[in-house]
């Protein structure tokens, strides 16, 4: 699947005990043998700054996130503020997605997004969140989530998820989408379209009086019927004045997700769906999750609010 990473690849005839082509100093067989075609960790540029006029998140200065006793059900004023934050976050996602092309680095996508937040008076929620260093997440191919933008140029045939979260009016808006880089193979396209459908079927299951577990049931049924698996380690989340809070929104069925949905509850639905198995492993940077088997993973995310008779998406795609 895919071509070798532009930063390197094995020389013809490389042997198991030769030094790895990546420069690690380890033997090829103990390093990159069998990993060709996988996404490699690149170089991360210094953290960008935001103009002083844009109110920062409460954790930006320290990187330490303090929990508050925020309710799951929001006031009409908070919901109104989240409608604004959500609409603007969706605009940043669209602007950044339009910059996706072969040869563009994920660091360049981060710069495009960073400027798009600033243009809208938003503060990037991810900046220094638990010390996360960038303004978006960019997750390529087998990266499940929390890819850190770096100097890897996108390659023709890649898929890349861009996850945008912005803070304005004291609240967050969180959304993501998976984009095609140049011409993408049919199986990857089926994965991406199925994942979008999973997100939308999960949202369609939102209604007051029903348990959160209805959402994961709908998503898992659709993903598994297509022959795919649902990531378990990462879940949707309550959101508002805090970036991540209760409730937890698993994208697979579990009776543990027993919270009853009520009008005014705000949370995300953001399924990560894999072509192969659901298991993840973490990169050494402590953030980035990839599929254990190297199979591709896609994701789509909306922030939403439960209404009297169903659901309102707070991060609608700009018309």
- Spell out the long-range contacts of 291-294 with Cβ–Cβ below 8 A and sequence spacing 24 or more: 291/142, 291/144, 294/1, 294/35, 294/37, 294/38, 294/142
Q: Which of ligand MF3, Co ion, none is residue 132 near (CB under 5 to 8 Å by kind)?
A: ligand MF3
Q: Which of Co ion, ligand MF3, none is residue 126 near (CB under 5 to 8 Å by kind)?
A: ligand MF3
**Are the C-beta atoms of residues 113 and 124 closer than 8 Å to each other?**
yes
Q: Which of ligand MF3, Co ion, none is residue 249 near (CB under 5 to 8 Å by kind)?
A: none
Q: Does 174 bind Co ion (CB under 5 A)?
A: yes
Residue (175 or 192) nearer to ligand MF3, CB: 175
Q: Which of Co ion, ligand MF3, none is residue 304 near (CB under 5 to 8 Å by kind)?
A: none
185-224 positions binding Co ion, by CB under 5 A: none
- Distance in angstroms (rounded) separating the CA atoms of residues 298 and 180: 11
* Binding segment (CB under 5 A) for Co ion, from list 122-130, 152-160, 190-198, 267-275: 267-275
- Tracing tokens 């309102």 back to the chain, one arrives at 312
Interacting residues with ligand MF3 (CB under 6 A): 126, 129-130, 132, 137, 146, 163, 165, 174, 237, 268, 270, 287, 301
Q: Does 163 bind Co ion (CB under 5 A)?
A: yes
Q: Which of Co ion, ligand MF3, none is residue 146 near (CB under 5 to 8 Å by kind)?
A: ligand MF3
Q: Which of Co ion, ligand MF3, none is residue 83 near (CB under 5 to 8 Å by kind)?
A: none
Q: In angstroms, give the least distance from the CB of 146 to ligand MF3.
A: 4
Q: Does 268 bind Co ion (CB under 5 A)?
A: yes
Residue (79 or 137) nearer to ligand MF3, CB: 137
- Distance in angstroms (rounded) separating the CA atoms of residues 136 and 186: 27
* Binding segment (CB under 5 A) for Co ion, from list 29-37, 168-176, 278-286, 310-318: 168-176
Query: Cβ atoms within 10 A of the Cβ of 284, count?
Result: 7
Radius of gyration for the chain, computed over Cα atoms and rounded to the nearest angstrom: 20
- Distance in angstroms (rounded) separating the CA atoms of residues 305 and 319: 20
Q: In angstroms, give the least distance from the CB of 115 to ligand MF3.
A: 18
Binding site for Co ion (CB under 5 A): 163, 174, 176, 268, 301
């Amino acid at each position: 699947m895919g071509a070798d990473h532009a930063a390197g690849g094995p020389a013809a005839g490389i042997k198991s005990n030769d030094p790895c082509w990546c420069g690690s100093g380890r033997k090829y067989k103990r390093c990159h043998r069998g990993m060709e075609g996988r996404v490699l960790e690149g170089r991360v540029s210094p953290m960008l700054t935001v103009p002083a006029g844009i109110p920062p998140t409460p954790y930006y200065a320290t990187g330490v996130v303090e929990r508050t006793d925020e309710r799951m059900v929001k006031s009409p004023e908070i919901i109104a503020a989240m409608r604004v934050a959500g609409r603007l976050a969706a605009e940043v996602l669209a602007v950044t997605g339009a910059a996706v092309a072969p040869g563009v680095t994920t660091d360049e996508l981060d710069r495009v997004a960073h400027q798009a937040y600033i243009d809208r008076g938003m503060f990037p929620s991810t900046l220094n969140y638990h010390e996360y260093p960038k303004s978006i997440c960019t997750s390529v191919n087998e990266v499940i989530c929390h890819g850190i933008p770096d100097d890897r140029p996108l390659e023709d045939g890649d898929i890349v998820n861009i996850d945008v979260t912005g803070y304005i009016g004291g609240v967050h808006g969180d959304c993501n989408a998976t984009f095609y880089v140049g011409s993408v193979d049919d199986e990857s396209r089926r994965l991406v379209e199925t994942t979008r459908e999973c997100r939308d079927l999960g949202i369609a299951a939102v209604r007051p009086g029903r348990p959160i577990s209805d959402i994961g049931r709908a998503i898992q049924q659709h993903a598994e019927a297509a022959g795919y698996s649902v990531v378990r380690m990462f879940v949707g989340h309550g959101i508002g004045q805090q970036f991540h809070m209760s409730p937890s929104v698993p994208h697979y069925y579990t009776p543990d997700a027993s919270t009853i949905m009520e009008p005014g509850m705000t949370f995300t639905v953001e399924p990560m769906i894999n072509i192969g198995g659901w298991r993840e492993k973490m990169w050494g940077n402590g953030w980035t999750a990839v599929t254990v088997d190297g199979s591709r993973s896609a994701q789509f995310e909306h922030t939403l609010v439960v209404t009297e008779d169903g659901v309102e998406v707070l991060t609608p795609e700009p018309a």
